[in-house]
A and B are shown apart, each in its own frame.
Chain A
Amino acid sequence: MAESVRALPQEIQELIDVREWDLRTREGIKRFTELKAKSLPSVALDGELVYEALIPPQEELIAAICERYNKKNQKKKQEEGMS
């Protein structure tokens, strides 16, 4: 799974920070249960579990990242406009 994230195009890599958790460690298990994940591999975007037990096609993953990125940007712009 981490490989598929690392294989994302450079312009997408620049939008994201990637953190990989190892389920063999106490820290990894803690994060896995916090996310309420059930299967491996799992992908969370902005702390929300999005993919479980599957590696999404690259286009799908890019679309999900961009959607979240755009939403966050819109919200930020709205907040800036209000202030």
Chain B
Amino acid sequence: MYIYRTTGICPPEIHFRLTGNTLTGVRFVGGGCRGNAQLISRLLEGRDVDEVLPLLKGIVCRNDTSCPDQLARAIELACEGQLRASEEIRIYEDTTPRLKVAVISGVEGNLAALRNCVAALRPKVEELYCLGNLTGPSGDNDAVVELARKEKIIFAAGPYDRTLPCKKPENQDRLLQAPLFIVFSLGEKRILAFTSGFIQELEGFSDFSLYSLELLMVCNLSDYLRNKEVYPALRTMTEQFSVDAVLFAGTGAWEHVRLGSVDFVNVGPVEAGGVYQYALLCWDREQLEISFRILEVR
């Protein structure tokens, strides 16, 4: 995906993809006339750049340029190799509606913790999601990645998962290909899960991409819910959220706060003080129920 920072027009960024000479996924983001921008995107979807460039170039709206003109400049830069494609921020959308799921985080290469969680939780819940970090500085990283792969655990990568090496290249590849956001449905609720704010340091991150708002509100505005003074602003911003609950990790704390109609859930590390912990999310009597549980291992 290409992200072009515009000059002189209302939208601060234009996002698009180029496959060979074919243009797809054009989005003018962060401002401007939404209707017109969507129309342009639809009209350009799948068209050849040589065909569309003459149509876009030289249109003037303000500041001697326009949205189509800026898009033309962006496409030309991309074709000339002067605009680099960014890695896509991977999103895993679990389309199967669930009623009961468990979420763990911070495995950090702790094979026993992951094994025990899988053994104890899999029979009780429909899905076990894992937030990063799956791997850790002193963990058995290859073994946890292999177990996660064998058990088909859906996990969202954390910063260690992106930076710490596994010995086996296939495990490394699996970590690099892991999604950064997981989205799933619980009853009528849509749930977003990610590890932490490190995602915004990745090249492909944009303030205006899908789920960036939720991430920035959690990590930057509320400092992972620690800055309670901004809760009134956070509550207001939840009106623009595209999900009903946001799960995140990375602070070592366990916390559940409801602001507006959105549940914020800070999932702590799977093992602390010799016990295993997880978050249990259930859809029960038309309600989303969230609790933190200790796993009994016999």
> Which chain A residues have a beta carbon within 8 Å of chain B's beta carbons?
22-26, 29-30, 32-33, 36-40, 53
Contact partner, A33, options B213, B221, B231, B240, Cβ 8 Å: B221
Chain A nearest CB: distance from B82 CB in Å?
25
Contact present for B237 and A23 (CB under 8 Å): yes
Contact present for A24 and B233 (CB under 8 Å): no
Chain B nearest CB: distance from A42 CB in Å?
8
Chain A nearest CB: distance from B139 CB in Å?
31
State the majority secondary structure of interface residues on A: loop
State the majority secondary structure of interface residues on B: helix
B93 within 8 A of A: no
Contact present for B200 and A23 (CB under 8 Å): no
CA distance A36 to B227 in the complex (A): 11
Task: Specify the chain A residue showing the minimal Cβ separation from B220.
Answer: A29
B296 within 8 A of A: no
CA distance A39 to B233 in the complex (A): 4
10 additional contacts (CB under 8 A) given A23-B233, A24-B216 = A23-B237, A24-B208, A24-B237, A25-B30, A26-B207, A32-B233, A36-B229, A37-B230, A39-B233, A40-B236
Contact partner, B233, options A22, A25, A30, A38, Cβ 8 Å: A38
CA distance A76 to B272 in the complex (A): 61
Question: Chain B, interface size: which category?
Answer: 10 to 19
Q: Given the known A-B contacts A37-B233, A39-B236, are A32 and B30 also in contact in the complex, defined by CB atoms under 8 Å?
A: no
CA distance A23 to B208 in the complex (A): 11
Contact present for A24 and B207 (CB under 8 Å): yes
CA distance A29 to B220 in the complex (A): 7
Q: Given the known A-B contacts A24-B208, A26-B207, are A33 and B216 also in contact in the complex, defined by CB atoms under 8 Å?
A: no
CA distance A53 to B235 in the complex (A): 12
B232 within 8 A of A: yes
CA distance A23 to B212 in the complex (A): 12
Contact present for A40 and B240 (CB under 8 Å): no
Contact present for A26 and B232 (CB under 8 Å): no
Residues in B whose Cβ lies below 8 Å from that of A24: 30, 207-208, 212-213, 216, 237, 240
Contact present for B207 and A25 (CB under 8 Å): yes
CA distance A40 to B221 in the complex (A): 13
Nearest 8 Cβ contacts at the A-B interface: A39-B232, A25-B207, A40-B236, A29-B220, A29-B221, A38-B229, A40-B233, A38-B232
Residues in B whose Cβ lies below 8 Å from that of A40: 232-233, 236-237
CA distance A26 to B208 in the complex (A): 10
Residues in B whose Cβ lies below 8 Å from that of A29: 216, 220-221
- Chain B 189-222: CB-based contact to A (< 8 A → 1; otherwise 0): 0000000000010000001100011001000110
In the assembled complex, 28 residue pairs joining A and B whose CB atoms fall closer than 8 Å, in A order, are: A22-B30, A23-B221, A23-B233, A24-B207, A24-B208, A24-B212, A24-B213, A24-B216, A24-B240, A25-B207, A25-B216, A26-B200, A26-B216, A26-B220, A29-B220, A32-B221, A32-B230, A32-B233, A33-B221, A33-B230, A36-B229, A37-B230, A37-B233, A38-B229, A38-B230, A39-B233, A40-B237, A53-B232
Chain A nearest CB: distance from B20 CB in Å?
33
Residues in A whose Cβ lies below 8 Å from that of B240: 24
Q: Which of A22, A29, A36 has the most CB of B within 10 A?
A: A29
